Amino acid sequence: MTTGVLTRQLAPGVEAQIVSSADFGSAAADLVQNQLSAKPNAVIGFPTGNTPLPLYHELLRRQKAGQIDLSRLQPVMLDDYLGAVGDNPISFFNWLRREFFDPAGIVASRIWRMPTDPDGIDQACRRYERGLMERGGVDLQLLGLGLNGHIGFNEPGSPAESRTRVIKLTETTTAANAVYWPDASKVPHSGVTMGVGTILEARSIGLLVNGAAKAGILRTALFGPMTPAVPASLLRKVHKIHVIADEAAASKLG
Ligand code: F6R
């Protein structure tokens, strides 16, 4: 377990744990481990991206050391690219498999996959939501934070009531994602994401934020107006957000 970290009550219902970047993965893994200790078959939503990589590495390390049991975990997805179907390596589903689920021995059939096939997508999004309900709802939703304040692919303008749906990605997001692509012109311009409303229904929410580039938007999300213009600010509507930030990301929290 991570020790020596400071947990601060930043706003009603918003608790922030500020850690060194070396402790970031471990602090995030504690969140997952505590959830699984309370409920071994917890439904947990997992993001992709740079931010959660230290978390996934730490969970795999703990599993190898026999310190955590992931055998009953019910993973669900947060978002993906529209059109990234099947075993397309660019899909977030396959990214998560490569980085975490496969090495953790979590077979693909156990993962509630975000639909990505444009054919019948609206119906598939409704089915996705039903699947969350059938699992009893999400116990812990983990999130990264976009430079423009997005959560999942809920871009600025996403209302608090939004549900799982197709969304057009902003230039900021496609530019940020282009670094992962050999050919930047092929970055998809639409995503499929849990809605803000879907996310707010999770029984607990872990917002993971690291690096100096996110310091400004983290401050805006936590202290600025609660507005769809900054979707992460809408997380403050529910009183159960646990922010894990490294010192660089927390540098503007005062
Ligand atoms: C990814 C996702 C996005 C990222 C965000 C931060 O599944 O939902 O909201 O969490 O764009 O990305 P990174 O971590 O790469 O800075």
Would residue 55 count as lying in a domain? yes
Evaluate: CB of 50 within 6 angstroms of ligand 1: yes
Q: What is the model's pLDDT at position 151?
A: 98
Spans of the chain, pLDDT less than 50 = 1-4
Measured in Å, residue 50 CA sits from the centre of ligand 1 at 7
Question: Which candidate in 58, 150, 154, 210 is catalytic?
Answer: 150
Would residue 110 count as lying in a domain? yes
Do 202 and 239 touch, CB atoms closer than 8 A?
no
Atom of ligand 1 nearest to the CA of 151: 9
Q: What is the model's pLDDT at position 1?
A: 40
User: What does the DSSP 8-state code read for residue 235?
Assistant: G
Would residue 252 count as lying in a domain? no
Would residue 178 count as lying in a domain? yes
123 Cβ neighbours under 8 A, 6+ residues apart = none
Measured in Å, residue 144 CA sits from the centre of ligand 1 at 5
Would residue 219 count as lying in a domain? yes
143, 180, 234, best to mutate for ligand 1 pocket (most atoms within 8 Å of CB)? 143
CATH of the domain at 15: 3.40.50.1360
Would residue 168 count as lying in a domain? yes
Would residue 1 count as lying in a domain? no
Question: How many domains are contained in the chain?
Answer: 1
Q: How far is CA 78 from the centre of its chain?
A: 6
- β-strand pairing of 190-193 with 165-168: antiparallel
Q: What is the model's pLDDT at position 6?
A: 63
Amino acid at 32: V
pTM of the predicted protein model: 0.95
Segments of the chain assigned E as strands: 6-11, 14-19, 43-46, 74-77, 79-81, 140-143, 165-168, 190-193, 204-209, 241-246
Give the angle subtended at the CA of 1 by the CAs of 19 and 33, to the nearest 5°: 105
* 130-165 pLDDT tens trace: 999 999 999 999 999 999 999 999 999 999 999 999
Q: What is the model's pLDDT at position 5?
A: 56
Would residue 76 count as lying in a domain? yes
Note down the domain range covering 59. 6-246
Measured in Å, residue 147 CA sits from the centre of ligand 1 at 9
Query: Residue 139's CB: how many other CB atoms inside 10 A?
Result: 21
